[in-house]
């Protein structure tokens, strides 16, 4: 038996494990308060409602069989209804496609929309799962910064004026991961207008839009142009184990994604998609459930932000955390967050340094803090430990 | 609002919907007996046992959360134990990886093992899901024919002697889809020896190995060489909706697949993987369950083959259907199966013409018949309709 194996693809050379995933492993120790994760709170997941939906789903054997690549019919129907309401136009089932979480939508769309070498515009700091996909697709990546109103559409406009021709612009429009901000209505209209004028696709990646704390988010970018492909997911409002993401896209895009999904994994699970359909269709229950999540997360976010400001004063500038799962904080005193992290872990607290999300800017004085899985008092203790780590 | 959209990737130009999938849609009419599918029988799926496992799984909230990309820990443990027994050596958990059905293993492995332009050897006729993946990866594909003992390893040896250097050889070693045959022990040893000598990977794609009717299949090709990556699945013995496939591969390959799975869809479902672990760990129940499936499929297979031989005599040569889900039949009288199909559908029966699986040979006188979902009397009626369609 030989110990040397045949070679692996050179595609692997440029790939690295996600820094966030490796950190998650590092900070799984029980004595560390980890604000480094990006996980929803399992205590807020609707266990009993999922159990009831599962029992109902298992009343028919068809839920155990292979299903269509585009998704389980009843879920497609429910999603078409939901998205029609969200987008203010009738969305036909042919424009809806169910994916294995919205990460799969990103990876299949990268293949459907991009030729190697195509230009992709991302936000800086970026959602690393999108960055990973676009890099693997061989795209050329240019970053546009974010500010308090979301993507700097004026910077994108300048890029276009200089002759750059993106195939695709990716945005996390609501409660950005990691930057926390939400794109203003004016910028949404502006981005859609540029997409129409310069004939590029926009992926509006929206896993967090329903997790607003004080007021709902503006209308989706997708309401302004059919060039916008909208992604959403059940992971943050119901449970990640349902692995239910979806997209709303022109039928031709959905058919391209369908061809690729057949090769990627044939189809999703009729069982978990039936459960998801059941929960999403139960609108009264769902509204109450999402309200509970909003109010818990909102309380935690406010506790974290208040504590940061109390402890650090003007040494830190942080987002307001109006929704979603993350606070982004910039040190104004020159603290290098990558250098801080090992000391912080020694003091029993973890976060993700800004560098992990950096594209063009280094974000070495920034960090992402996730507030979803800890109670206010634990979050206060985490900030206290962080303060002591800095000394 | 513009009616013209931005362009799609040129990657889509060469892609077609699977002929089998399109046929499946065509033959879903209630008045047609479809032997064209490739689906396990939902009446034989363990609905009650799955319901019990689901209830148990939902006793812990961790089953609703994101899980590791490599798979849910308890399922990895159960699979490592199963595969240790199957392969006759201790298989560590690091050499096991759970995928979203074994189709996902194929698509991720194509990226991990192949550079564009690499040579891939497939069997002729081929499993179309593999063919689709290797084509999408930009591989150069060469086919080696099958006979009653499986892959013609002598033909592969001739290719190697002529200087061909495959990166990868794909085989469905047991109860081949579509060809029905099982590779002999001698050929397995021969294939492994070639893989070691010429330093190529073998993917042993084995979704059907447990579905033997009279006697168990030979030891896996993977018992002969560590160059062999073994794929298996719960879809054919438990239920496709669990979307649980797995591979046994060197740890370095598993880590490569892990990096790509993060981009592809982050992770599988802890819920369905916990259910799968529960069922696979219940070995006494599982043995009895798989026996029931074997005996039903065996009865159906024998009914189909007997009826084919009775009706068509020496106008047809068919496989013996010693296991799996398919009978492969060759017309000896010049019947063109692609031309026959529309007439057959008119007469209320469907099959897949050999051409759908063809790589180098055209298989225009061949067809694949699936016997899993119909009772013996329905299968007899199907053969009767086929006979009348030929006239």
C-alpha span between A172 and A325 (Å, rounded): 13
Is the confidence at residue A20, as pLDDT, over 90? no
Do A262 and B167 make contact, defined as CB atoms within 8 angstroms? no
C-alpha span between A379 and A26 (Å, rounded): 19
Full strand arrangement of the beta sheet holding A201-205: A96-100, A244-248, A228-233, A201-205, A168-171, A119-124, A140-147, A150-151
Q: What ipTM was reported for this prediction?
A: 0.95
Residues of B in Cβ contact (< 8 Å) with A265: 99-101, 103-104, 107, 243, 265
Q: Domain range spanning residue A218?
A: 65-282
Q: Are residues B178 and B162 in the same domain?
A: yes
pLDDT value of residue A144 = 98
Enumerate residues 112 to 141 of chain B having a beta carbon within 8 A of any beta carbon in chain A: 112-115, 129, 132-133, 136
The residues with which A231 forms a beta bridge, in sequence order, are: A205, A247
Is the confidence at residue A21, as pLDDT, over 70? no
Cβ neighbour number for residue B228 with a 10 Å cutoff:
25
Nearest to A188 by CA among A163, A222, A229, A212: A222
CATH code of the domain covering residue A176 = 3.40.640.10
Residues of A in Cβ contact (< 8 Å) with B131: none
Do A132 and B263 make contact, defined as CB atoms within 8 angstroms? yes
From residue A173, alpha-carbon distances to A127, A133, A246, A358 in Å are 11, 18, 16, 18
- Domain stop point among B219, B249, B282: B282
Classify residue A53: in a domain, yes or no: no
C-alpha span between A40 and A38 (Å, rounded): 7
Classify residue B78: in a domain, yes or no: yes
C-alpha span between B227 and B196 (Å, rounded): 7
Q: Are residues A278 and A299 in the same domain?
A: no
C-alpha span between A202 and A170 (Å, rounded): 6
Cβ contacts from A onto B, under 8 A: 233
Chain A residue whose CA is closest to B137 = A263
Interface probe for B, chosen from A250, A260, A269 (most Cβ of B below 10 Å), is A269
C-alpha span between B262 and B107 (Å, rounded): 14
Enumerate residues 169 to 188 of chain A having a beta carbon within 8 A of any beta carbon in chain B: none
Enumerate residues 52 to 81 of chain B having a beta carbon within 8 A of any beta carbon in chain A: 54-55, 58, 61-67, 69
Q: What is the pLDDT of residues A126-145, one digit of tens each?
A: 999 999 999 999 999 999 99
- Domain stop point among B282, B305, B337: B282
Confidence category of residue A2, pLDDT binned at 50, 70, 90: very low
Q: Are residues B215 and B356 in the same domain?
A: no
B9 to chain A, any CB pair closer than 8 A? The answer is yes
Q: What is the pLDDT of residues A236-274, one digit of tens each?
A: 999 999 999 999 999 999 999 999 999 999 999 999 999
Classify residue A155: in a domain, yes or no: yes
Coil, helix or strand at residue A320: coil
Do A243 and B269 make contact, defined as CB atoms within 8 angstroms? yes
Task: Identify the burial level of A338 via C-beta atoms within 10 angstroms of its C-beta, where 0-12 means exposed, 13-18 middle and 19 or more buried.
Answer: middle
Task: Collect all residues with Cβ–Cβ distance below 8 Å to A162 and sequence separation of at least 6.
Answer: none
Each residue's pLDDT expressed in tens, for chain B with a length of 391 residues: 445 899 999 888 766 666 555 655 666 778 899 999 899 999 999 999 999 999 999 999 999 999 999 999 999 999 999 999 999 999 999 999 999 999 999 999 999 999 999 999 999 999 999 999 999 999 999 999 999 999 999 999 999 999 999 999 999 999 999 999 999 999 999 999 999 999 999 999 999 999 999 999 999 999 999 999 999 999 999 999 999 999 999 999 999 999 999 999 999 999 999 999 999 999 999 999 999 999 999 999 999 999 999 999 999 999 998 999 999 999 999 999 999 999 999 999 999 999 999 999 999 999 999 999 999 999 999 999 999 999 8
C-alpha span between B390 and B347 (Å, rounded): 10
Q: C-alpha angle B310/B314/B317, rounded to 5°?
A: 90
Chain A residue whose CA is closest to B200 = A6
Do A47 and B69 make contact, defined as CB atoms within 8 angstroms? no
Residues of A in Cβ contact (< 8 Å) with B113: 6, 8-9
Q: What is the pLDDT of residues A44-99, one digit of tens each?
A: 999 999 999 999 999 999 999 999 999 999 999 999 999 999 999 999 999 999 99
**Domain count for chain B:** 2
Classify residue A98: in a domain, yes or no: yes
Enumerate residues 148 to 167 of chain B having a beta carbon within 8 A of any beta carbon in chain A: 167
B303 to chain A, any CB pair closer than 8 A? The answer is no
Helices (H), A199-282: 251-265, 270-281
Q: Are residues B339 and B217 in the same domain?
A: no
- Domain stop point among A252, A282, A312: A282
Classify residue A56: in a domain, yes or no: no
Q: C-alpha angle B171/B173/B176, rounded to 5°?
A: 90
> How close B101 comes to chain A (CA, Å)?
6
């Amino acid at each position: 038996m030989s110990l040397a194996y045949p070679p692996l693809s050179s595609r692997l050379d440029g790939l690295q494990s996600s820094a966030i995933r490796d950190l998650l492993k590092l900070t799984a120790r029980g004595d560390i308060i980890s604000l480094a994760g990006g996980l929803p709170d399992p205590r807020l997941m609707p266990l009993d409602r999922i159990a009831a939906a599962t029992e109902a789903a298992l009343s028919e054997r068809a839920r155990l069989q292979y299903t269509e690549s585009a998704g389980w019919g009843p879920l497609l129907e429910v999603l078409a209804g939901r998205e029609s309401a969200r987008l203010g136009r009738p969305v036909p089932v042919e424009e809806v496609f169910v994916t294995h979480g919205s990460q799969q939508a990103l990876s299949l769309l990268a293949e459907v929309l991009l030729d190697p070498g195509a230009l992709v515009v991302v936000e800086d700091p970026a959602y690393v799962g999108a960055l990973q996909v676009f890099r693997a697709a061989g795209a050329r990546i240019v970053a546009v910064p974010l500010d308090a109103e979301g993507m700097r559409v004026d910077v994108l406009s300048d890029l276009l004026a200089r002759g750059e021709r993106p195939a695709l612009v990716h945005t996390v429009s609501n409660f950005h991961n990691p930057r926390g901000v939400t794109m203003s209505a004016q910028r949404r209209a502006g981005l859609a207008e540029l997409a129409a004028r310069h004939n590029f696709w926009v992926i509006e990646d929206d896993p967090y839009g329903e997790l607003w704390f004080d007021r709902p988010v503006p209308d989706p970018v997708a309401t302004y142009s059919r060039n916008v492909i909208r992604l959403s997911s059940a992971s943050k409002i119901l449970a990640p184990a349902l692995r239910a993401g979806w997209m709303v896209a022109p039928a031709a895009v959905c058919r391209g994604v369908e061809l690729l999904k057949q090769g990627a994994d044939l189809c999703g699970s009729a069982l978990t998609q039936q459960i998801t359909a059941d929960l999403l269709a139960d609108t009264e229950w769902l509204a109450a459930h999402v309200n509970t999540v909003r109010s818990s997360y909102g309380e935690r976010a406010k506790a974290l932000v208040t504590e940061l400001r109390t402890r650090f004063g003007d040494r830190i500038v942080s987002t307001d955390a109006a929704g979603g799962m993350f606070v982004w904080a910039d040190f104004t005193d020159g603290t290098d967050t990558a250098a801080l992290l090992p000391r912080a872990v020694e003091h029993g607290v973890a976060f993700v340094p800004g560098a992990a999300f950096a594209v063009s800017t280094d974000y070495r004085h920034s960090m992402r803090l996730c507030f979803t899985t800890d109670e206010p008092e634990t979050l206060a203790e985490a900030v206290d430990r962080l303060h002591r780590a800095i000394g």
